[in-house]
Amino acid sequence: MICPYIINISLLIGGILSWGVMWPLIEDKKGDWYPSDLKQSSLHGLQGYKVFIAISMILGDGLYNFVKVLGRTLYGLYNQVINSKKHSSVAPSHDLSPTLSFDDKRRTEMFLKDQIPSWFAISGYVIIAIISTVTIPYIFHQLKWYHILCIYIIGPALAFCNAYGCGLTDWSLASTYGKLAIFVICAWAGAANGGVIAGLAACGVMMNIVSTASDLMQDFKTGYMTLASPKSMFVSQIIGTAMGCIISPCVFWLFYHAFGTLGQPGSPYPAPYALVYRNIAILGVDGVSALPKNCLVLCCVFFAGAIIINLVRDLVGEKYAKFIPVPMAMAIPFYIGSYFAIDMCVGSLILFVWQKVDRAKADAFGSAVASGLICGDGIWSLPSSFLALGGVQPPICMKFLSRAANVKVDAFLGS
């Protein structure tokens, strides 16, 4: 109900294209394209097509948006430089800036009055870089200190690009920078030296640097709009981070012990992005030789298709772009499954009908209703974890089976 209609429709299209068309056709090639005796989870079989085709779409969409956001970032910086030169060439008595309202003047005054000193930001970054360079190799011995040092050297430039680009487009590309770190560090470390673990650990370091920059800028913007002090916003972030260092491991421990299948495909909590990033690392270390037959061709087709779809969306304009699916959203059901796409589309249908009946109330309360559903579903996971730890099992089990599997179950029960 919160996502735009085109996102939910894209999820449905991706689910139909993958699970309704592609996977059945590829499964018919069992014994030709890949051995028929492989496990269902083997990346050399059907699972490999699911994962790597989805990765290719995500990378294609991410690469396109990376170039797009970077171009808009450079263009915005160019305009700022040109405007500053024009302002400096004009006599001081002529103020070319538009007249600010009282509220904007008050916000600007409050925001600039309580700035965070540059020396504090620089010294803090250097201290964190030193701590990370020393401690992370003890946690992940495959990741060497010079890998981390290189990440922290180039990190500020990428963090600035991500923060500025996120401000222009409202699109954080932290995951794209993380994938870039995976490929570079995996190739640098090599398979013999644990390149997969090194690449994944480097991805975590890079994403923390880059995503924190854009998140802080959004929080500072919120502080600017609400007349809150930048220092108070920063201190709040530090407090929240410190709380997260304690709460997050505890929640993970709870889920890890309550659900024995945590992270496994098909479980209630499959952690799908973990599988994607791991296989990106494998691809970075082993190369295309690790892919099953014809998988590389399909990956290239979907990689190019994601770029072409995005290009068409930008060329046709906003009026028609809302009818063209989003490749990133289409890629998600490829490896997660199409079950949740129905839920998303049902939410869109409810909102659509609600808007037809009473648009004013739908626009006013739609986000609140959706937030309540999300909150209720999320909060229930904690009681569910405690019940699972206590060994409580639900009295009813409901499953949806294929026709062939259902025939076998009926025959077994009948016998």
Count of CA atoms in the C-beta half-sphere (13 A) of 321: 14
Element holding 77 (H helix, E strand) = helix 46-89
DSSP-assigned letters across all residues of 362-400: HHHHHHHHHHHHHHHHHHHHHHHHHHHHTT---S-----
Give CA–CA dist 266/68, Å, rounded.
35
What's the one-letter identity of residue 1?
M
SS3 345: helix
Amino acid letter for position 343 = D
Lookup: tokens for 397:
């089990």
Query: What does each of the 415 residues of the chain score in pLDDT, given as a tens digit?
Result: 888 888 889 889 988 998 888 888 888 888 888 888 777 767 778 877 887 888 788 778 877 877 887 788 788 777 877 877 766 655 554 444 556 677 778 888 878 877 778 788 889 889 999 999 999 999 999 889 999 999 999 888 778 777 766 765 566 777 777 877 887 888 888 878 888 899 899 999 988 888 888 888 888 888 888 888 888 888 888 898 899 989 999 888 888 887 777 777 777 777 777 877 887 788 778 766 767 888 888 888 998 998 999 899 888 888 888 888 888 888 878 877 777 788 888 989 999 999 999 888 888 888 889 888 888 888 887 787 777 777 777 777 777 777 888 888 888 888 8
Cα torsion through 162, 164, 170, 171, rounded to 10: -20
Are the C-beta atoms of residues 264 and 165 closer than 8 Å to each other? no
- Taking only Cα atoms into account, the Rg of the chain, rounded to an integer number of angstroms, comes to 25
Return d(Cα 391, Cα 228) in angstroms, integer: 47
The 8 Å CB, 24+ separation contacts for 272-276 are 272/332, 272/335, 272/336, 275/51, 275/335, 276/51, 276/54, 276/55, 276/58, 276/335
Exposure string for 246-264, b = 16+ CB within 10 A, e = fewer = eeeeeeeebbeebbeeeee
In this structure, how many other beta carbons lie within 10 angstroms of the beta carbon of residue 337? 17
